[in-house]
Amino acid sequence: MIQLIKGFKDILPEEVALWQQIEKTAADIFEDFGFREIRIPMMERTELFARSIGQDTDIVEKEMYTFADRKGDLLTLRPEATASVVRAYIQHKLYTPDPVRKLYTIGPMFRRERPQKGRYRQFYQINAEVFGVASPYIDAQLIIMLAVLFERLMIKDIKAHINSLGCPQCRPAFKKILGDFISSKIDRLCTDCRRRKDRNPLRVLDCKVPACRQAMADAPALTDHICEACREHFNTVQEILNTQGVEYILDKGLVRGLDYYTRTTFEIQTSALGAQNAIAGGGRYDRLVHALGGPEIPAIGFAIGLDRLVEVVLQQERSLGRGPDVFIAALGEKSRQMAFDWSCDLNRDGISTEMEFADKSLKSQMKRAHRLNSAHVLIVGENELAKGEIILRNMNTKEQHALTIEGLVKSVKDRIRGDL
């Protein structure tokens, strides 16, 4: 039998309801914050990712699904969405007449990482990107928006980590200081880090090899060397978060795995997922629009790892996925025919139903209704038909009501809507 590709996965119907609910909750909140959806292609020219994410990053060096198409063009399955959203923003001149745009997009990304719990080769992200606002208010607003989403999903056990990565004014001097530190530890570092030391020393801070982490544990921190303007920006972000009552941790080691960041960076981390502890990450990328051929327009954004978010929700044992509004347990052929008509009428009116078509006992049908997480069960047997009364049972409260056959669909609808 042909199996799935390693690191890829099917999302089965039982779980899809939860995915949809999380996606809808995020989209609703983002729309309230002024974001609009953009849909971008799954594949781009390789150069777009190499130039934006950075040649020396793990993603570009080792993880991209890149191939030459039949004409020899070098294409890549997107490892992230920011580069594509920036490309679309420039290509369609979304900065005219007003440079301020708030865009979100949801979909699969591809990175050939080593698969483990919470890390897949095809994974899903919910991305939000804001263009044209340099103010620290927007940095804080994105973190607040994430806090609102996690609160609405009732996710506990999460912490916002924030840091500043400075700007092209202050970073070169820091790179020199960091370079000297790295030289003093060079014997303890992996070959990647040795190679990256001169070209891109910040990447050494992001290496996942335990020996490198240990060697770099007391490396100098960028936040201690950022310029006055960057410091002021970062302080204001913190003041706004304080005023809004959003808790955060100042994390000097948070450098992120992509090269395009400037100033504020952040991650939402959880202790619930083991090693893969980031459920969302993002930051400012004020230079990227210009670097990819657009005007000088600042930008900031984040991506939520949807697979990880779903895992956290499932771990909290609160399935947000719902079953049918009503399961119709029918006993005998005549009841089944009537049940089928009622189920069609209820479906037409927006009530979801499920019913048993085989000749099964009431006990086994009730079991199935339970398994499907049905909110109500309508019991239609020969006795009920003879009496002209059908039982509607609320599976949560266990309350039962006898409804007359006359006008049944309407009374079921009224009861169910009343219970919702």
Q: Which residues bind ligand HAM (CB under 6 A)?
A: 80, 82, 111, 113, 118-120, 123, 125, 127, 129, 257-258, 278-283, 285, 301-303, 305, 307-308
Cα–Cα–Cα angle for 346, 350, 355, rounded to 5 degrees? 45
Q: What's the closest the beta carbon of residue 103 comes to ligand HAM, in angstroms?
A: 10
**Shorter beta-carbon distance to ligand HAM: residue 185 or 308:** 308
Q: Which is nearer to ligand HAM, 298 or 305 (CB)?
A: 305
Q: What is the DSSP string of 304-331?
A: EEHHHHHHHHHHTT-------SEEEEE-
The least distance separating ligand HAM from the CB of residue 39, rounded to whole angstroms, comes to 16
Which phi and psi (to 5°) does residue 129 adopt? -135, 135
Burial class (CB within 10 angstroms; exposed 0-12, middle 13-18, buried 19+) of 274: exposed
* Residue 69 CB neighbours (<10 A): 9
- 278-284 and 299-305 strand pairing: antiparallel
Distances (CA, A) of 317 to 17, 155, 311, 313: 15, 11, 10, 7
Q: Give the nearest distance from C-beta 82 to ligand HAM in angstroms.
A: 4
- Cβ proximity of 161 and 117 under 8 Å: no
Quick count: other Cβ atoms within 10 Å of Cβ 397?
8
Of the two residues 307 and 356, which places its CB atom closer to ligand HAM in the complex?
307
Q: How far is the CB of 172 from ligand HAM (least distance, A)?
A: 23
Report the residue number, 142 or 226, with the smaller CB distance to ligand HAM.
142
For the chain, give the number of residues.
420
How near is the Cβ of 248 to ligand HAM at its closest, in Å? 16
**Closest residue to ligand HAM, based on beta-carbon distance:** 305
Question: C-beta of 124: minimal distance to ligand HAM in Å?
Answer: 8
Nearest to ligand HAM of 305, 323 (CB atom): 305
The dihedrals phi and psi of 195, each to the nearest 5 degrees, come to -70, -40
| Residue 409 identity (one-letter amino acid) | V
**Which of 127, 374 has the CB closer to ligand HAM?**
127
